[in-house]
């Protein structure tokens, strides 16, 4: 069930893999913020279409309904309210947001709000006050724009081991998400963890940005990271430096996969590659298995220092060399490139493992589901799991499908919409 009670014992953040059985997860049910836009604003909001909120919420209820069966569910709104109930934390967060968004004139208004009003304003947007000609002629309706993309909780932070990485978003319209997540991890009182904040890191060269959809904690000693339109080389270098600091002894590995700059469905690595089980992964075959025009790079870290950087022949060969022999399952099947492209566009590769061999995904990608069935995954509807007609513990492998007519319009799938906070250890 959703966790809203006062924390006496903060949850210890602990994520050492992509597939360990889920103990706790952070979600954000989409609200009015996803509809607080016009078609003219959609592109700036990073959307290609406008969602129908009532349908999107019903679809999202299936995600929370399934995950509440297996894990403790936290909601962003509830945690943000806890932060804002603390006067010092409230002032700190509002100051940071007003400076970053050049909205100093909103400071007193925000500080004077009740906690529920302020949660609403910080997530759903603060309409501009039209009291001057300048304000009247300004085309922007909002002083603080809505967080249209916040239901993709994966992007603005990443849990790595016992630490929360606060991401540096590629687009300013999403920067407030990372600020809120930083405040939640540090100030809500609900979590015991370290934080790594990349907001103030100055790169040696190039632009620094990194988002959670590109960062995969494959094993406690392996990260796989996408390098594309939302995660830069400088961002990966910054994370690697922190990974070195966190691991002063032993050997660690970072596998970097370059991604195309278009189409927009290649926005993050988890749109073309996700872990399903100890020995299985979901892939977009044309890019992950066959395309050699995009580099794969293996960074080796030994005793807290980068000891080697070299090109390798792909993610799967690199992981095989590290003792992880993964069988690829192809998004859209392996026989029709047209179907592969359609289902990849609709987040067919974007699956979320809530236990080894047990995953959430969209029901609309039928060819992908047939492939899952061929590889031993029992395909079942989320509504059957929620109603108790299907019991997850009865299956060694299963693929739980959620309805997805509206949620995919925002540009992501089940992994994008879930931020694991704690997982059980995996016996490899």
Q: What is the pLDDT of residues 151-163, one digit of tens each?
A: 999 999 999 999 9
Give the 3-state secondary structure of 213-261: HHEEEEECCEEEEEECCCCCHHHHHHHHHHHHHHCCCCEEEEEEEECCC
CATH number of residue 320's parent domain: 3.75.10.10
Q: Is residue 109 part of a domain?
A: no
| Average confidence score pLDDT of the chain | 92
Q: Is residue 132 part of a domain?
A: no
Give the lowest-confidence range in 53-67, 258-272, 369-383.
258-272
Q: Is residue 282 part of a domain?
A: yes
Q: Is residue 11 part of a domain?
A: yes
Return d(Cα 30, Cα 151) in angstroms, integer.
5
The pLDDT score that the predictor gives to residue 45 is 46
CB atoms within 10 A of CB 4: 13
Q: Is residue 125 part of a domain?
A: no
Position 291 confidence tier, pLDDT thresholds 50, 70, 90: confident
The pLDDT score that the predictor gives to residue 51 is 81
Beta partners for 422? 14, 24
| Strand order, beta sheet including 222-227 | 215-219, 222-227, 251-258, 296-302, 305-312
Q: What is the pLDDT of residues 120-173, one digit of tens each?
A: 999 999 988 876 676 666 666 789 999 999 999 999 999 999 999 999 999 888
Q: What is the mean pLDDT of residues 72-90?
A: 98
Return d(Cα 29, Cα 398) in angstroms, integer.
24
Whether 49 shows a pLDDT value over 90: the answer reads: no
HSE toward the beta carbon, residue 372, CA cutoff 13 A: 32
Position 64 confidence tier, pLDDT thresholds 50, 70, 90: very high
The pLDDT score that the predictor gives to residue 173 is 87
The pLDDT score that the predictor gives to residue 401 is 98
Q: Is residue 64 part of a domain?
A: yes
Return d(Cα 320, Cα 387) in angstroms, integer.
40
Q: What is the mean pLDDT of residues 37-56?
A: 65
Cα dihedral angle (194, 304, 156, 46), rounded to 10 degrees?
170
252 versus 51: the higher-pLDDT residue is 252
Please give the residue range of the domain that contains residue 396. 2-90+146-423
Return d(Cα 69, Cα 54) in angstroms, integer.
23
Q: Is residue 118 part of a domain?
A: no
**What is the total count of domains within the chain?**
1
Residue with tokens 């990073």: 46
Cα dihedral angle (255, 260, 264, 269), rounded to 10 degrees?
-10
Q: Is residue 137 part of a domain?
A: no
The pLDDT score that the predictor gives to residue 245 is 82
């Amino acid at each position: 069930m959703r966790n809203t009670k006062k924390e006496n014992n903060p949850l210890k953040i602990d994520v050492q893999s992509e597939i360990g059985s889920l103990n706790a997860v952070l979600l954000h049910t989409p609200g009015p913020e996803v509809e607080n836009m016009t078609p003219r604003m959609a592109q700036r909001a990073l959307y290609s279409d406008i969602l129908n909120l009532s349908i999107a919420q019903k679809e999202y209820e299936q995600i929370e309904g399934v995950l509440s069966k297996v894990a403790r569910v936290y909601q962003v709104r509830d945690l943000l309210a806890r932060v804002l109930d603390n006067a010092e934390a409230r002032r700190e967060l509002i100051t940071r947001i007003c400076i970053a968004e050049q909205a100093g004139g909103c400071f007193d208004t925000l500080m004077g709000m009740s906690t529920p009003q302020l949660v609403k304003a910080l997530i759903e947007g603060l309409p501009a006050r039209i009291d001057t000609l300048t304000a009247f002629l300004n085309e922007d309706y909002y002083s603080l724009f809505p967080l249209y993309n916040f239901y993709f909780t994966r992007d603005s932070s990443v849990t790595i081991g016992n630490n929360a990485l606060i991401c540096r978003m590629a687009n300013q319209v999403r920067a407030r998400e990372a600020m809120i997540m930083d405040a939640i991890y540090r100030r809500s009182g609900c979590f015991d963890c370290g934080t790594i904040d990349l907001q103030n890191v100055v790169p040696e060269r190039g632009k620094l940005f990194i988002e959670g959809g590109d960062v995969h904690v494959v094993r406690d000693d392996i990260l796989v990271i996408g390098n594309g339109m939302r995660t830069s080389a400088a961002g990966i270098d910054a994370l690697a430096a922190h990974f070195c600091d966190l691991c002063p002894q032993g050997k660690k590995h970072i596998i970097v996969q370059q991604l195309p700059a278009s189409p927009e469905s290649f926005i993050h690595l988890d749109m073309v590659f996700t872990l399903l089980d100890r020995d299985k992964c979901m892939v977009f075959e044309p890019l992950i298995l066959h395309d050699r025009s995009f580099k794969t790079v293996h960074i080796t870290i030994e005793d807290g220092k980068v000891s080697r950087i070299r090109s390798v022949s792909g993610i799967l060969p690199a992981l095989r060399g590290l003792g992880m022999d993964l069988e690829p399952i192809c998004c859209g099947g392996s026989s029709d490139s047209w179907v592969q492209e359609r289902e990849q566009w609709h987040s067919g590769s974007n699956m979320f493992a809530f236990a080894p061999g047990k995953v959430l995904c969209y029901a609309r990608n039928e060819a992908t589901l047939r492939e899952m069935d061929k590889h031993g995954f029992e395909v079942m509807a989320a509504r059957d799991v929620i109603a108790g007609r299907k019991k997850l513990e009865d299956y060694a492998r299963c693929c739980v499908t959620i309805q997805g007519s509206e949620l995919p319009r925002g540009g992501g799938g089940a992994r994008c919409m879930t931020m694991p906070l704690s997982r059980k250890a995996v016996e490899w």
